[in-house]
Amino acid sequence: MTNEASLSFPRSSQYSLDWLKSCVSGGANSLWLTEWLTQQMPLQKGMRVLDLGSGRGASSIFMSREFGVEVWSVDLWFGADERAHRIRDAGLDKSVFALHADAKSLPFSTGFFDAVTSIDSFMYFGTDDLFMNYLARFVKPGGLIGIANAGLMQEIDGPIPDHLAGWWEPSMACLHSAGWWSRHWQRSGVVAVEAADAMPDGWKRWLEWQYAVAPDNSAEIGALKADQGRNLGYVRAVCRRLPEAALDEPITSIPVDYEYRPIAAD
């Protein structure tokens, strides 16, 4: 890794590159993004943190080691067994707990967590207009919710730029700017946004990590080099659950009684 990255992420630079490569579950360096997020989202020892979409668990391990928090490491795409082995080898099996669960069907009680984090995954499930109202119930009133992931420097409202077209896929419509996330969350009426911004030279960090873990990924590397940070980079957003906000109760079933009526008209 470059000296610039080491200076920007001093905590992350203390972790073995081989270990981090063994934890890869997506296209981003999860420790860089977690360190960047926690600079705007202070975590205190003893907090309960939900790490949502935690992949293979590197971000969960990092938060527990660095801040002394308890972490529930939840992911749908990656099973819990391999993550649990990694957590145990890190000596954190009493403070980091691996679960296999869907972000939209979480097995936790209301107000169980002090904070929720999501590293390079929230865009896959959090763009739903109703999701923040659902997620906020798992955080104590006044608790924090924060994300850091790949995103856009500004929304692309027209055609995809020509220099990105060869790499862009329809599923990338989930990528958004920091401003979009801020507006999206504010509209929910249940949180106050405290930060929403883009990582300085985030595209360079994205490109650097691609060279480290996927040097043959010519399509993505070519897109990043051609774009030069005009559209692509990393974004983060942090909000706080409003203590006075009334959350809608989730609808799990609507009880009704059946009464026979003849189908045919008289």
Closest among 172, 126, 129, 127 to 152, alpha carbons compared? 172
The average confidence (pLDDT) of the chain is 95
The token pair that represents 156 in the structure block? 């692309």
CB atoms within 10 A of CB 79: 12
CB atoms within 10 A of CB 214: 13
pLDDT tens for residues 141-195?
999 999 999 999 999 999 999 999 999 999 999 999 999 999 999 999 999 999 9
pLDDT for residue 132 is more than 80: yes
pLDDT number for residue 36: 98
| Helix 80-89 with 58-67: angle, nearest 10 deg | 30
Domains and their CATH numbers in the chain: 3-241 (3.40.50.150)
Alpha helices (runs of H) in the chain, residue ranges in sequence order: 3-8, 17-22, 30-38, 58-67, 80-89, 131-136, 162-165, 178-186, 202-213, 218-227
Closest among 103, 109, 91 to 48, alpha carbons compared? 109
Q: Is 96 exposed, middle or buried (0-12, 13-18, 19+ CB in 10 A)?
A: buried
pLDDT number for residue 7: 84
pTM for this predicted structure: 0.94
pLDDT for residue 4 is more than 90: no
